[in-house]
Amino acid sequence: MNKKFQGLRAMDRSRAMESDEEREDRIVHERLKKTHEQIVSQLECAPGAMQFFQQHESDFLHSFKLGDILMKYDLLACGPILPGYFEDVPLTGDLDASVAKLEALGQEEINARWQKFLKQARRLREEARAAGMSDTASWIIGHDTSPYPTPLDPDAKKPDPIILETSIPSDLKVLALFMTQEKVGKQIQSESVEQWLSNDREPTEIDDDVNQKEIERIFGEKGPNTLYDLLPEELHGIISKIKLVGPRKSQRITAHGEEHQIQFHGGFDKDDATMILIISPEQNIQTILETWFHELGHAMITRSTEVDRDIRKRFAQAVAISDHLQSGYASGIYDTEGIERGLEEDFAESIRQFFIYPREFEQEEPKRFNALKLIFRQYVKGFSIPEMQRRLSVFMEKIKTRKAA
């Protein structure tokens, strides 16, 4: 009998003897292994993707409706280049004046310019694909700014091409509005210089449904602001404020084909850089700290500055050379939500472990640990692991003393 066939028969027999749990674990492991292999291969595309993104960065705003429409048609969110095709149209905010100028151009001229715009959008799309705008590269660039469109739902209703090709350029009021929005958006972006960890700290916000006694039980007299004391000074600008909210119901999620009830302890709102902590009778300082440092990981790379991109790139490289994906929560995200979200949660979990359990983290994940150590050495010079452990020890000792009193 052919040896290869014998091997396959033996594999079939061993799989037939698997329990359902063992089979599910094997399937998940195989999927995660494949995902890791994708990260490794996609990193080769990252330099080309970064170069392409930096070259066209100002053309990839998609906070306005036109960018969303273009992405529905599998084009890049390059609306800001549209006004360049209508430089002779005054886009001063006077809609009637803009429409009148468009009318003076004539519909034939408008259509010709619109088609040139679509042609460039399609060319940029092909250049982006050639640059390797893969999931890993998109995460490094920043998923809120990546020019590559998110894959459409195959079951979603297909957009009508007439809308893109004919309807928009024929509705002069809509066209004028699109161009004005894109011009203003590009101007705002060019005038604002984004900095890493530059949030202005605001007073802590406490919702009405939060019990004051629970706050004192968890944090002591100083309240949640004592969490800032754990951080080196450079990281004090990592969030704008802490927000305490009352008890929340557990949520049902599906992972690996099974439903689970998950009790969330907090989160990070990227839009206004707010750390949200859930306060309830079941909450304790240990889960608060676990949440605080995990969400700090998200906060560290929430923007699209050069520092954010450099940190994401270094971490993705560490994941690749580690030869595996993180186990536990992060692996579930890789498996169920894809590479971009997986890398995001992997980084947040790694930051949590790096701050709270550095010795164990170094032993279990040496590649990730060393990458974070180098990142902090460069960007957070006031951070040291011994000092962090000392602060945590003093922090926990005060809580124990308070409870014993």
CB 295 within 8 A of CB 136: no
Answer yes or no: is pLDDT of 8 > 90.
no
3-state secondary structure of 262: strand
DSSP string, 217-245: HHH-TTGGGGGGGGS-GGGTTS-SEEEEE
Confidence of residue 11 (pLDDT cuts 50, 70, 90): very low
Q: Give the C-alpha separation, 128 to 139, whole Å.
A: 15
Confidence of residue 22 (pLDDT cuts 50, 70, 90): confident
Answer yes or no: is pLDDT of 241 > 50.
yes
Q: What per-residue string of b and e applies to 116-135 under the rule 16 or more CB within 10 Å gives b?
A: ebbebbeebbebbeebbbbb
The mean per-residue pLDDT over the stretch 163-168 comes to 92
pLDDT, position 170:
95
Nearest to 275 by CA among 312, 232, 228: 228
3-state secondary structure of 279: coil
Strands 258-262 and 241-245, by their bridges, are: unpaired
pLDDT tens sequence across 29-86: 899 999 999 999 999 999 999 999 989 988 887 666 788 888 888 888 899 999 999 9
Answer yes or no: is pLDDT of 134 > 90.
no
Q: Give the C-alpha separation, 307 to 315, whole Å.
A: 12
Work out the end-to-end distance of the chain between its first and last CA atoms, rounded to an integer number of angstroms: 77
- N residues, the chain: 405
The backbone torsions φ and ψ at residue 88, rounded to the nearest 5 degrees and listed phi first, read: -90, 5
pLDDT, position 230:
93
**Residue 174 Cα distances to 73, 177, 181, angstroms:** 18, 5, 11
pLDDT, position 68:
83
Answer yes or no: is pLDDT of 20 > 60.
yes
The mean per-residue pLDDT over the stretch 374-398 comes to 93
Average pLDDT, the chain: 87
Torsion of CA 170, 171, 172, 177, to 10 degrees: -130
Nearest to 48 by CA among 137, 142, 145: 137
Confidence of residue 151 (pLDDT cuts 50, 70, 90): low
pLDDT tens sequence across 244-295: 999 877 556 555 555 554 557 889 999 899 999 999 998 899 999 999 999 9
Tell me the chain's radius of gyration from C-alpha atoms: 26
Answer yes or no: is pLDDT of 314 > 70.
yes
Q: Give the C-alpha separation, 304 to 327, whole Å.
A: 28
pLDDT tens sequence across 194-240: 889 888 889 999 999 998 999 999 998 889 999 999 999 889 889 99
Residue type at position 189:
Q
Answer yes or no: is pLDDT of 193 > 80.
no
Confidence of residue 190 (pLDDT cuts 50, 70, 90): confident
Answer yes or no: is pLDDT of 152 > 90.
no
* Domains identified in the chain and CATH numbers: 49-191 (no CATH), 205-404 (3.40.390)
The mean per-residue pLDDT over the stretch 365-369 comes to 98
Confidence of residue 147 (pLDDT cuts 50, 70, 90): confident
Q: Give the C-alpha separation, 313 to 307, whole Å.
A: 10
Q: Give the C-alpha separation, 32 to 335, whole Å.
A: 6
Residue 276: its H or E element: strand 274-278
